[in-house]
Amino acid sequence: MLAIQDVMGTSGLATILRQAGLQRYANSLPPNDQAPGPHAAEYAGLLQAIENYYGRGARGTLTRIGYAAFGRLVADRRLRASVGRGLWQALPPSGRKLEALRWYARQAATRRGQIAVHQDDQHIQVVDHDSDATFGRERATPLCWLALGEIQEALRWGTGQEFEVEEMTCRAKGDAVCRFEVGEAIG
């Protein structure tokens, strides 16, 4: 919710909370700790409210919220982030990319369930087995734009470069998992 507020402002967050039927959080956000927060249905409802509010612009807004959410994750775990990032700085770029995603997966999994990073000869993939964003939602196209933004920001944070990331499968489409594939560096 704080990442939403970072991108949309206080009144924007209040509007989204109202549209999602979560007014109870308007004056008292859940604590920023490791305890379970809003349920998957509430989280998915927040994302749906943002999509309803922004329409076609929702993808960009949710991606920016993902960037902000990852930034807050790093800030909340500053020591872990500094140690982890320091350990892999001597690695080649491909190794830093992989380690940054593994760090993200470990940290995000504590909040959202099982997230794994896989690498084969050609691709690195991030697999979200639970994907709260898809709870109760059905779509013909992938919808995990906030997670996509988090992954892109993790890559930028870990390597100093921006990368193409595409959601290949999505639970909202009926797939078993949400799977993101990391592409080429941008620029």
CATH number, residue 73: 3.90.1520.10
Spatial distance between the Cα atoms of 152 and 156, rounded to a whole number of angstroms:
6
151: how many CB neighbours lie within 10 A of its CB? 29
Paired with 163 in beta bridges are 185
Q: How confident is the model at residue 62 (pLDDT cuts 50, 70, 90)?
A: very high
Spatial distance between the Cα atoms of 38 and 22, rounded to a whole number of angstroms:
10
Extended strands (E) in 10-147: 115-119, 124-128
Cα torsion through 46, 161, 72, 147, rounded to 10: 30
Spatial distance between the Cα atoms of 133 and 147, rounded to a whole number of angstroms:
9
Q: Is 175 left (phi over 0), alpha (psi -120 to 50) or beta?
A: beta
Spatial distance between the Cα atoms of 178 and 26, rounded to a whole number of angstroms:
30
pLDDT tens string 99-123: 999 999 988 875 656 899 999 888 9
Number of domains in the chain: 1
Pairing of strands 178-186, 124-128: antiparallel
> H or E element: which one contains 17?
helix 2-19
Mean pLDDT score across all residues of the chain: 90
Question: Residue 131 belongs to what domain range?
Answer: 2-186
* pLDDT of 34 strictly over 80: no
Residue with tokens 């099982």: 114
Q: What is the pTM (predicted TM-score) of this model? A: 0.91
> How far, rounded to the nearest angstrom, does the alpha carbon of residue 33 sit from its chain's CA centroid?
17
pLDDT tens string 20-30: 999 999 888 77
